[in-house]
Structure 1
Amino acid sequence: MIFFEVILPVILIFFSGYMIQKIFKVDIKPISTISIYILMPALVFQTFYTTPLDSNLFYIVITSTLIFAALVVVSIVTSRLCKQDTEQESALILTSAFANSGNYGAPIVLFAFGQAGMNYAVPLMVFHSILMSVFGVYFAARSQGGIKLAVRTVLKQPTNYAILPAVLLQEFHISIPDNFYASIELVGNCCIPVVMIILGMQLADVNAKKLEWGNISIASGIRLIASPILAYLICLMFPIEPLLRNVIVIMAAMPSAATTAMYAIQFNTKPQFVSSGTLITTVLSFGTLTFLLSILH
């Protein structure tokens, strides 16, 4: 059964973080800072240093950009129709437009499609992290300090500076000494399990009594239903092989990103709502992903 083979192993990792937080009440912010400023840049560099710049990578970039843009537009239109202020609009975008492809999507793809699917999932995850480190920070910061602070904060994100050196080294066939690359690989490989545990810890801190059910329902519908449908329709526009298309659709069907919850906490952009959205969409995704995987398999 797909739930026990694919979804449950991932849930158990989240649950370990959840229990650690319930028992020990750990301060999450220092751990999330390590993840954002050390682990993720190492993984980004490692991915672009080793991933060939071929047509599949082009399709990953172009479809991810189109899916993200469509979700932002849907979120803004929905927010304006609901007469929400800028802060709530930013929180809705953080919850709806960014998928949890790193600490949820990549493991799901690995269990569902094996290493072949994982070869597509990693560059997808990395590009999603780039979108988050640029636009996630922008939308989190804009409601608190305006556009100048948002842009300045984006420029401070280290993942944005890990891509170009990695691409140039690969394109000019310049090899990093094995012992140095082994250190980068060691740190990068820690990223996904650590962020999965962080998500479980974040979910443990959500106060279920303060959930904004109306706004969370809207965000959940966009994130879990509209997003994979948009992804599938956008994939039909390109000559993409079936496995890559399936991976793109599955990654688009992931719940709200844990990283954006970190940004919401750092910039105080309705962190309770964004974290609650992560919790609810994660729980609901156990069912929606099981259904979607049964169709795609």
Structure 2
Amino acid sequence: MIFLTVILPVLLIFLSGYVLQRSFKLDLKPISTLAIYVLSPALVFQTFYTTPLDIRLFYIVAISLLLLISLIIVTLLTAKLLNYDNKQSSALLLSTAFMNSGNYGAPIILFAYGATGFQYAVSMMVFHSIIMSVFGVYFASRGQNGAGIAIKTVFKMPSNYAVVLAVLFQHFHVQIPDTFNEAIDLVGKAAIPTVMLVLGMQLANVTSKSLEWPGICLASIIRLIASPILAYGICLFFPIDPLLEKVIVILAAMPSAATTTMYAIQFNTRPQFVSSNTLVTTVLSFGTLTLLLNIMK
């Protein structure tokens, strides 16, 4: 049932992009640029504009940041032990530190824990989007250009300014006219399917000979096993209700985020390696998530 109602629709979007790219051999960079600089900012603004700013969101922000820092430390230490260069370690970070909590995680939470759990998942998805627009962009750009230019690139990302503007509008109760709100919502809704299509298109460029299995196995272990264990340990230090704890741990066990593939394409940070990790961790997650959901009933 989970496969048919949640996983299969996502796979069909991937497949559509895959078939499109195999048929027409399109240039992916203009499409990823459109998604990063137009579609995603609209989605981020709309989400932050309508999400309540309360103590629950504070806990989600704190736990998400601590989990991100933990994953970065684990990944960088591992990369150093394996003598990875700057681009290799950045590509590995894109595959391990950011999870697919939106278009994959949120529907699974809805099915497993109902409407209340889904509201928690939406709040996490909101904050994860800004985490990726800051740290994801930094690591993607760092792999190609170095830390200095990477920091400048972060400040050029419109999604970050969309968050600030949305929070200010909500705090000061600024009402957006219905026609403008509908236009922003319309553009924002195109972001997630576009990202999924770009991932499928990038996967069409991956061949079995180009798969780096040692790195992929390493990324899969960190993303699917180490991440939920770290999340569970971090949750023990916060006074959160059991349902929110379950949602956080399950989302931490999600496969690599599809958005990171766009960043890898945009900044040429080994996009085939990053997209391959997204594919493999997504396939493996069918089994790991089933096991974890049974454990955390």
Query: TM range, normalised to the smaller chain?
Result: over 0.9
| 1:163 corresponding residue in structure 2 | 163
| 1:263 corresponding residue in structure 2 | 263
Q: Cα 1:293–1:2, aligned 2, differ >3 Å: closer, same or farther? A: farther
- Contact 1:18–1:197 under 8 Å retained in 2: yes
Q: Secondary structure at the match of 2:146?
A: helix
| 2:108 corresponding residue in structure 1 | 108
Superposition pairs for residues 171-190 of structure 1, below 5 Å?
171-190=171-190
| 1:118 corresponding residue in structure 2 | 118
In 1, the alpha carbon distance for the partners of 2:294 and 2:9 equals: 17
Deviates more, 1:217-226 or 1:269-278: 269-278
| 1:235 corresponding residue in structure 2 | 235
| 1:61 corresponding residue in structure 2 | 61
- Contact 2:211–2:273 under 8 Å retained in 1: yes
* Unpaired segments ≥5 residues, structure 1: none
- Contact 2:137–2:153 under 8 Å retained in 1: yes
| 1:83 corresponding residue in structure 2 | 83
- Contact 1:63–1:234 under 8 Å retained in 2: yes
For the pair 1:277 / 2:277, whether they are aligned, the reply is: yes
Deviates more, 1:35-44 or 1:118-127: 118-127
Following superposition, the deviation at residue 227 of structure 1 comes to 0.5
- Contact 1:2–1:290 under 8 Å retained in 2: no
Following superposition, the deviation at residue 89 of structure 1 comes to 1.4
In 1, the alpha carbon distance for the partners of 2:188 and 2:149 equals: 29
| 2:16 corresponding residue in structure 1 | 16
Following superposition, the deviation at residue 207 of structure 1 comes to 1.9
Q: Secondary structure at the match of 2:170?
A: helix
Following superposition, the deviation at residue 19 of structure 1 comes to 2.6
Deviates more, 1:193-202 or 1:31-40: 193-202
Q: Cα 1:18–1:250, aligned 2, differ >3 Å: closer, same or farther? A: farther
- Contact 2:224–2:255 under 8 Å retained in 1: yes
Q: Secondary structure at the match of 2:98?
A: coil
In 2, the alpha carbon distance for the partners of 1:192 and 1:108 equals: 16
| 1:295 corresponding residue in structure 2 | 295
Q: Cα 1:184–1:101, aligned 2, differ >3 Å: closer, same or farther? A: same
Q: Cα 1:187–1:102, aligned 2, differ >3 Å: closer, same or farther? A: same
The Cα RMSD (Å) is 1.8
Following superposition, the deviation at residue 245 of structure 1 comes to 1.9
Matching residue's letter, 1:203: L
Following superposition, the deviation at residue 114 of structure 1 comes to 4.0
| 1:71 corresponding residue in structure 2 | 71
Following superposition, the deviation at residue 210 of structure 1 comes to 1.2
| 1:149 corresponding residue in structure 2 | 149
Following superposition, the deviation at residue 88 of structure 1 comes to 1.4
Q: Cα 1:107–1:254, aligned 2, differ >3 Å: closer, same or farther? A: same
In 1, the alpha carbon distance for the partners of 2:208 and 2:31 equals: 23
Task: Provide Cα deviations, 1:192-229, integer angstroms capped at 9, x if missing partner.
Answer: 23322322222222222111111111111001110011
Matching residue's letter, 2:176: I
Following superposition, the deviation at residue 124 of structure 1 comes to 1.4
In 2, the alpha carbon distance for the partners of 1:131 and 1:86 equals: 21
In 1, the alpha carbon distance for the partners of 2:272 and 2:14 equals: 19
- Contact 1:2–1:293 under 8 Å retained in 2: no
Matching residue's letter, 2:231: A
For the pair 1:211 / 2:211, whether they are aligned, the reply is: yes
Matching residue's letter, 1:167: V
Q: How much identity, in percent, do the aligned residues show?
A: 66
In 1, the alpha carbon distance for the partners of 2:26 and 2:102 equals: 22
Task: Please report the TM-score for the alignment, with normalisation by the length of structure 1.
Answer: 0.93
Task: Provide Cα deviations, 1:128-152, integer angstroms capped at 9, x if missing partner.
Answer: 1211111111112223222221011
The count of corresponding residues between Structure 1 and Structure 2 is 297
Q: Cα 1:112–1:201, aligned 2, differ >3 Å: closer, same or farther? A: farther
Matching residue's letter, 2:181: Y
| 2:138 corresponding residue in structure 1 | 138
* Unpaired segments ≥5 residues, structure 2: none
| 2:52 corresponding residue in structure 1 | 52
- Contact 1:10–1:108 under 8 Å retained in 2: no
Following superposition, the deviation at residue 82 of structure 1 comes to 1.4
- Contact 1:203–1:278 under 8 Å retained in 2: no
Deviates more, 1:222-231 or 1:94-103: 94-103
Q: Cα 1:11–1:291, aligned 2, differ >3 Å: closer, same or farther? A: farther
In 1, the alpha carbon distance for the partners of 2:47 and 2:30 equals: 25
Q: Cα 1:185–1:117, aligned 2, differ >3 Å: closer, same or farther? A: farther
- Contact 1:39–1:190 under 8 Å retained in 2: yes
